[in-house]
Amino acid sequence: MSAASMRSLDQGGWPEIANVFGIPVDRDNLVVVLETMLNELRLGLRGPLTICLVNAFSVVEANRNSRHMTALREADLCLADGLGVAWLARTPKIAGADLMLAAARHPELGKMRHVLLGGFGVAYRAALRQAQSAGSIASIPEVPDGADLVAMANAVPCDILWVALGCPRQELWMHANRDRLKAKVVIGV
């Protein structure tokens, strides 16, 4: 059971975790998510904090692929990365690029070592350019076929590992390797 699923009700009486077609979507806003990341970086009590961003494609894929569903259910946080999922969960939408930029601009998280692993789309390239201009995110842009991704991720000192391998590959990889990763926070974008 994930740490997030052990919560009960928020102040409005809604469960803090919404069930969106079997996926536990956390109802925290961006400020709370950033604070959760910071607390894990400060205390580091549980091994890496794993965060998955869930959009409509993730929901469909998880309901077709039981391994993907397990990876999402066992993540520490699943956030709504799409208006449809946010609407169903009655929570704010937190897109991966928004989370990345907010972390890079955060007064404390921005000072941490961030690394982006994998290929990524136009939105993430734009976010990465902005974050890199602040000097807070390095990237491992080329992921050769057959590469040992854990070794690549652990070879670069980082506190926050942003994994951009595409859905469901990134969630499956994070789930399978979370205990082998040195980063304290691992986020699938």
Alpha helices in the chain (DSSP H): 30-43, 56-64, 66-73, 83-89, 96-105, 122-133, 149-155, 169-177
pLDDT digits (tens, 9 = 90+) for 56-68: 999 999 999 999 9
Greater confidence (85 vs 145) lies with 85
- pLDDT of res. 88: 95
Greater confidence (143 vs 18) lies with 18
Mean pLDDT across 20-34: 95
Greater confidence (136 vs 26) lies with 26
Shortest CA distance to 184 belongs to which of 155, 156, 163, 158?
A: 158
**φ/ψ (deg, to 5) at 41:** -65, -35
**φ/ψ (deg, to 5) at 141:** -75, -35
Shortest CA distance to 3 belongs to which of 38, 57, 48, 41?
A: 48
pLDDT digits (tens, 9 = 90+) for 88-105: 999 999 998 889 889 988
Where residue 134 falls among pLDDT bands split at 50, 70, 90?
low
